[in-house]
Structure 1
Amino acid sequence: MEKQRYKQERLDHQSFDSFPVLLTPLAIEVHAARLYTRSLFIRIQKEIIAGSWLCSIKSKISEEGSDISIISEELIIPDSMPDATEINKAEDSDDEVEEIDLYKKSTREYKVLHNRSDDSVVCCCQLFVRCGILCRHVFCVFKNFNVQKILHQYLLKRWTRDLIPPGLRRKKNRYGEKNENISNLFVQATSLVDDCCQILRNDEPKLS
């Protein structure tokens, strides 16, 4: 239980007392950073980046208040590295040096249905259904339609920072205590120490 509490407090510190580095100028990334826990935000951030740089809308059809977008995703596949013999042979040759490809590119297409009335989206990759997070194809559509916030229906409570109430996070319950007075004093003392640490969290000399 102590190991679990320590891990929980460490993760809470990452989520509440620091702000992650943003890698795009998109407002939806800022919104995600404020809502998700740090570990989940990193996963969401990867999808946002991939949706911005690796995905593009190939075609779009509008019908009855909805848009059906065909998303083209560029896949980068590392190629086998050339050995030293091939490189030396190319350097010694008087002919024009052939360009060495370090990776190959391929594309896949995905269909995203976007309802303009409520900004709801459905992607054929079904990442949200399987894992509970939006995929890069949806973020590509959001970027195209200038959607700046992740909609409430796509914010699963278990991924958000406020899943555990603040009062419960601060409580220092200890199991196995036989003396209730000692247990209450212990909780009060640790709570006071936590309060002091929070006040001085940015003052290194006083914390020292």
Structure 2
Amino acid sequence: MSTTQRSEGMNAFFDGFINSTTTLQQFVVQYDNAVRVKAQKKIEADFSSMNTTIACGSQSPIERQFQVQYTHAKFEEVQNEFRSRMNCLIKDTLKEDFWNTYTVKEERMWEGNRVPDKLYKVQYDPVTQTTTCSCQLFEFRGIICRHSLLVFSQEDVYSVPSQYILRRWSKNI
């Protein structure tokens, strides 16, 4: 995390609680208030995740699998990957002895302008029904990527292996 990211995170945490004229004594009191409000928001978010449902945007059983398991915040991230899957198409498939390698082309826009397409390699293991994508979104953020979702669809996978459902974002933790 860069220095500016840390300060932005701190600014967001203390926003509305302290300012440049806050004394040290006021800071201690406001820090407690900020922690209390943050904890209350987390409790409310957990309650909402357990007692309400965000509708699926597709008829995918995989999307439904994430809807049932994940908190609202993480399910929304997964839904974004489902929506973004529409910008991807399979350009090439190489079937080898132990896995299939897909080349996935993603069409992209930046600030309203089309930018060059990006190619990703997705390796799919038909035995374990697992994927590894060159974007490494799952490895870095723990969210299954649009490229892997596209390959699962191509391979007629209707339920992802449990390794893709991370317990730390489960409603039931």
Could you tell me the TM-score, scaled by structure 2's length?
0.74
Q: In the TM superposition, what is the alpha-carbon distance from 1:151 to its structure 2 partner?
A: 1.5
Letter in 2 for 1:71: V
The question of whether the paired residues in 1 share the 8 Å contact of 2:88 and 2:150 is answered with: yes
What CA distance in whole angstroms lies between the structure 2 residues aligned with 1:78 and 1:129? Answer: 27
Question: Is residue 71 from structure 1 mapped to residue 104 from structure 2 by the alignment?
Answer: yes
Q: In the TM superposition, what is the alpha-carbon distance from 1:125 to its structure 2 partner?
A: 1.0
Q: In the TM superposition, what is the alpha-carbon distance from 1:2 to its structure 2 partner?
A: 4.3
Question: Which stretch of structure 1 is more off in the superposition, 153-162 or 64-73?
Answer: 153-162
Q: Which runs of 5+ in 1 are unaligned?
A: 80-102, 164-208
Sequence identity (%): 27
Q: In the TM superposition, what is the alpha-carbon distance from 1:6 to its structure 2 partner?
A: 2.1
SS in 2 for 1:114: strand
The question of whether the paired residues in 2 share the 8 Å contact of 1:55 and 1:71 is answered with: yes
Tell me the matched-pair count.
139
The question of whether the paired residues in 1 share the 8 Å contact of 2:66 and 2:165 is answered with: no
RMSD: 1.6
Could you tell me the TM-score, scaled by structure 1's length?
0.63
- Match in the other structure for 1:17: 51
Q: In the TM superposition, what is the alpha-carbon distance from 1:5 to its structure 2 partner?
A: 4.2
Structure index of larger Rg: 1
Q: In the TM superposition, what is the alpha-carbon distance from 1:65 to its structure 2 partner?
A: 3.0
Question: Is residue 56 from structure 1 mapped to residue 86 from structure 2 by the alignment?
Answer: no
Q: Which runs of 5+ in 2 are unaligned?
A: 1-34
Q: In the TM superposition, what is the alpha-carbon distance from 1:4 to its structure 2 partner?
A: 4.4
Letter in 2 for 1:25: Q
- Match in the other structure for 1:142: 152
- Match in the other structure for 1:43: 77
Q: Within 5 A, what are the aligned runs for 1:79-118?
A: 79=112, 103-118=113-128
Q: In the TM superposition, what is the alpha-carbon distance from 1:126 to its structure 2 partner?
A: 0.9
- Match in the other structure for 1:152: 162
Q: Which of 34, 38, 45 is the equivalent residue of 2:68? A: 34
What CA distance in whole angstroms lies between the structure 2 residues aligned with 1:151 and 1:159? Answer: 16
Q: In the TM superposition, what is the alpha-carbon distance from 1:22 to its structure 2 partner?
A: 1.6
Deviations 1:136-182 (A, max 9, x none): 1111111111222231112221111111xxxxxxxxxxxxxxxxxxx
Question: Is residue 127 from structure 1 mapped to residue 127 from structure 2 by the alignment?
Answer: no
Letter in 1 for 2:111: P
